[in-house]
Chains A and B, each alone.
Chain A
Amino acid sequence: MLSGDLLLGVCLGYVALLFALAFYVDRRARQGHASWIQSPVIFTLSISVYCTSWTFYGAVGSAARNGLEFITIYLGPTLVFIGWWWLLRKLVRIGKEHRITSIADLISSRYGKSSSIAVLVTLMALLATTPYIALQLQSVTRSYQAIVGEVDVSLTAFVIAAGMALFTILFGTRNVDANERHHGVVAAIAVEAVIKLAALLAVGLFVVFGVAGGVGSVFENVDTEVIYGAGNIFDARWVTLTFLSATAIICLPRQFQVTVVENVDERHLATASWLFPLYLFGMCLFVMPIAIAGLKFLPEGANPDLYVLTLPLSLGREDLALFAFLGGFSSATSMVIVAAIAVSTMVSNHIVVPISLYLLHGRREVSGDVRQILLTSRRVSIAAVVGLGFLYFQASGGSDALAAIGLIAFVGVAQFLPSLLGGIFWRGATRNGALAGLLTGFVLWAYTLFLPSFGGSVILTADVLANGLFGLAALRPQALFGLVDFDPLVHAVIWSLGANTLVFMVVSSLSEASPLDRLQGALFVDVFRNRPGETTRFEPGQARAEDLFILAQRILGTEPARRLFDSMAHEQGLAGVLPWPTDAMIVQLERVLAGNVGAASAHAMVARVAGRGSISMIELIDIADETQRLMETSRELSTKSAELTMMTNELRNANQQLRQLDLQKDEFLSQVSHELRTPMTSIRSFSEILLSPETVTEEERDRFMTIINEESQRLTRLLNEILDMSRLDAGILEMPLAPVEAGAVIDAAIDTLDGLIRKKQVSIERQLSGYPVWVQANEDRMQQILINLISNSIKYNTSKQPVILVRSESHGDFLFIDISDNGGGVKREEAGTIFDKFSRGHRSDLDHGAGLGLSISQAIARNMKGDLTLEFAADETSFFRLRLVRSEAPAGSND
């Protein structure tokens, strides 16, 4: 016998392993390493939550009682997945496009985001799931009991329930977005899926080959009744069960959760379409042999629902029994976890959150308070759903009635089918039709199947069961209106689903659909023809971006809301401001919020913000603020744009100047080379002549030598000038400034030119006033300028009696030295270019100057903070004006 301690230890170890795995995967996923968990195989394994402990243990039990009938529970899902292209693909696409969080969300979303439908479906799902969870608790406690012997049933069940609730809260509510995958949970479910399949296969192989001794001998001497059940196996019950299981794989909240909500890629369905049927195939393969072996080897009264466990136990294979126990444990826990997530999402989104929002209505603080409410409510809902399951288990006292609950739950959730299929394939389906159909089906299900399952102990008394409500035979729950020829299950399915469908269709065709209802209908039915977000339209309203933002902030949290609104503003071509609350923007926002709180709640909240209604004073002020802010932004923008224009202009000008300078530089270079070549050429040619002395007379030779000498000097001068020029341009010419007496410099310059003056017989007049005048200058350089100016006047003077006038005058801080002559002057049209490098006046043919003198003089004058300009007198005669800065007389001078 396995000891209780060992079993407990293995269980705890297994659970700890699952926690660790979920934690690890969750953390990896957060770091962005979740690709392997998003594989189609993992997706398929997560769908296997379909195989609960009810199928793990119950399939064998069912096979032992009714033969091959158990297989229908797996054939239905197989057919649905084989036909994935037609139904599941559409469901998944709709789920993705409308950010569906649960089956209640899908149905309510389809029917005009009706919250009454959402609440109704949620309650039905809760009612169908609670006993199912109780069943899981029961099967775990019973299997525990079967191994260990007597245990405290309540305590065991409570510990399991609490553990599962904790796991689900920890890993199922990490994110407020119910639309996101719960990676940790999915990983744990996948591992459990492998464990339960492996366990069942191991027991099956042991039974067939270890005990029976081969496939053939298993079925030896077996009554056909054991295999086919009593009578015709392919009867109405067969069809009904196949249909029910097909419905269940679509409508069970947990199946909808793993197949539609947690699906990350539609393409995974393609793999699941054969892999999931294959998984079920594997689960079923050894069910019949185990059942037969159980009937053969175990004592008469043994519970067939525990054959999987008791068979290896009685045959001394405790290790196998332990493995089987873990398989059953896995089946139960994975169902509880996923069902708790799925149902709690519904309860939280459609019941708790709307109520809390209603209670909190009017509070406007900017915070993530709704986000917190959402998380809290989801956690509380999980605890409540699992807690309800536990209470149900306690109340039902672990009775055998629970065993039937699997199929009863199937019929319960099957009531969603007409509204679901009608909703996605029939545009004409309306909210009223769905509501009426669901209510009808729900009531009939409760009356004909659910309540009678308690055998007269809950609501419906034994008397009502036997004789009908109010003693009317026509109202007997299991023989409604005299329909007695059917198995109770088939009877219930015919009545509840039949009436449900009929009422749904009749009311739909008679009632008028609301605009939103019609819109959603078109979007759902034609999901493959619509591009997302294109055709949707919100009813006209006066949504304000700010309110919508506050709403989004409260639900999504500050940062995600800001990101969302930024991206929406960006799409509208706005930046840094809230997006315009256009229809498209509101629809988009509503969809994102729907991913958190479900479509109906999101719609209600957005409608409250966006809806029509009188505008309060506060809102008017808010609007004014918003306008103010927009205006400020636009003003800032226009200022910035003006600055930009200015900078562009400056840049353009600078660019133009640069080009000009570049051009000048090129010109300068070509000028320089030209100027240098002229003297070089004459030096070369004359020296060549001199090299052949026989052809040259002595006289000629002297003349040539003189020319060469003069040209060399000119060349030297030219090079000096160019050197000066480039130094001046580069600003590296050393030019220490000091107070200089201007009159003395003028005298010195004229003295220097004395030879030339005499030779040309020029008379120089000086009109110097107020001397001595001190200026800030470099004496040598100033002299250079004056010599240049005066010698120019002498050289280019065409007059018979050249007269040069040097005049100086003080004006404020400046001293002007004007030099004019009677020799023709400079023409006005030359004034602009006379200071350019290599430019010569019209009189330049009189001399071979390089045209750098004036340019250098001007540069020097400017270096001395003065200037050299060409001025025109009233009679249009030109003169050069040298402007210099006056300075104090230096200390120690004698005036």
Chain B
Amino acid sequence: MNDESRDLSRPLSDRKISDRALVLLLVGCLLLTPPLASIFQLDIKVLGIPFTGFYLFTVWGGLIVGAAMLSRRLLNSSGWDNAEDAGPAEEVDSVD
């Protein structure tokens, strides 16, 4: 069984969920590290809070909310239930 057919055997919505989880992780990595993060090092204040701090905590909070929303759906996805047969080991490889 090649990767493609195994991937197709999983419902589209489930693949979408794990894709979203991956995107969330990558976006988090990009937003919290230079060079992207450097753009937000500004000498201004939002609601009396230095902007960079505000930015970091906002991204952080956003990641938490995103993870909370995805966690349940990841649990219920077939990628979890059938982990023994057709787990996302290949997706992990692709992250690497």
A binding-site residues for B, Cβ under 8 Å: 68, 71, 75, 78-79, 81-83, 85-87, 90, 93, 214-220, 222, 224, 227-228, 232-235, 238-239, 242, 267, 270-271, 273-274, 277-278, 281, 284-285, 288, 421, 425-426, 525-531
Contact = CB atoms under 8 A, between A and B. Distances in A.
Interface in B40-96: 41, 43, 45, 47-50, 52-53, 56-57, 60-61, 63-68, 71-72, 74-75, 83-89, 91-93, 95-96
A281 B87 contact: no
Most chain B C-beta atoms within 10 Å of own C-beta, residue among A214, A233, A525: A233
B28 A78 contact: yes
B20 to A, nearest CB: 10
Q: Which 5 A-B pairs have the closest CB atoms?
A: A528-B87, A216-B48, A274-B68, A234-B34, A83-B25
Given A82-B63, A219-B49, A238 B34 contact: yes
Contacts of B47: 215-216
Given A215-B47, A529-B87, A267 B60 contact: no
B33 interface: yes
Interface of B: 18, 21-22, 24-25, 28-29, 32-35, 37-38, 41, 43, 45, 47-50, 52-53, 56-57, 60-61, 63-68, 71-72, 74-75, 83-89, 91-93, 95-96
A71 B92 CA distance: 27
A267 B74 CA distance: 10
B63 A78 contact: yes
Nearest to B79: A85
Contact of B95 (A86, A215, A227, A284): A86
Given A82-B63, A85-B74, A214-B48, 16 more contacts: A68-B56, A78-B28, A79-B28, A81-B67, A87-B92, A215-B47, A215-B48, A216-B48, A217-B48, A219-B49, A219-B50, A224-B43, A234-B37, A270-B72, A273-B67, A529-B85
B95 to A, nearest CB: 5
Contacts of B66: 82
A71 B52 CA distance: 12
A310 B42 CA distance: 32
B71 A79 contact: no
B49 A215 contact: yes
B71 A274 contact: yes
Nearest to B95: A86
A376 B85 CA distance: 42
A536 B72 CA distance: 33
Contact of B84 (A68, A224, A242, A529): A529
Query: Interface majority SS on A: helix, strand, loop or mixed?
Result: helix
A273 B34 CA distance: 24
A528 B88 contact: yes
A527 B92 CA distance: 12
A207 to B, nearest CB: 15
Contacts of A81: 67
Query: Interface majority SS on B: helix, strand, loop or mixed?
Result: helix
A526 B83 CA distance: 11
30 contacts: A71-B56, A75-B32, A78-B28, A78-B63, A79-B28, A79-B29, A81-B67, A82-B24, A82-B67, A83-B25, A85-B18, A86-B91, A90-B89, A90-B92, A215-B48, A216-B49, A219-B48, A219-B50, A227-B52, A232-B38, A234-B33, A234-B41, A270-B71, A271-B71, A274-B67, A277-B64, A425-B92, A528-B88, A529-B87, A529-B89
Contacts of B43: 224
A216 B54 CA distance: 12
A378 to B, nearest CB: 33
Contacts of B22: 83, 85-86
Given A82-B25, A270-B74, A277-B63, A234 B38 contact: yes
A655 B11 CA distance: 61
Contact of A531 (B67, B75, B84): B84
Most chain B C-beta atoms within 10 Å of own C-beta, residue among A90, A234, A288: A234
B15 to A, nearest CB: 13
A271 B74 CA distance: 11
Given A85-B21, A528-B84, A281 B48 contact: no
A426 to B, nearest CB: 8
Most chain B C-beta atoms within 10 Å of own C-beta, residue among A68, A239, A277, A528: A528
Contacts of A529: 84-87, 89
A238 B71 contact: no
B60 A281 contact: yes
A83 B60 contact: no
A277 B60 contact: yes
Most chain B C-beta atoms within 10 Å of own C-beta, residue among A82, A228, A233, A526: A82
A383 B66 CA distance: 43
Contacts of B33: 234, 238-239, 242
Contacts of A224: 43, 50
A93 to B, nearest CB: 7
A220 B49 CA distance: 9
A160 to B, nearest CB: 34
Contacts of A71: 56
A89 to B, nearest CB: 8
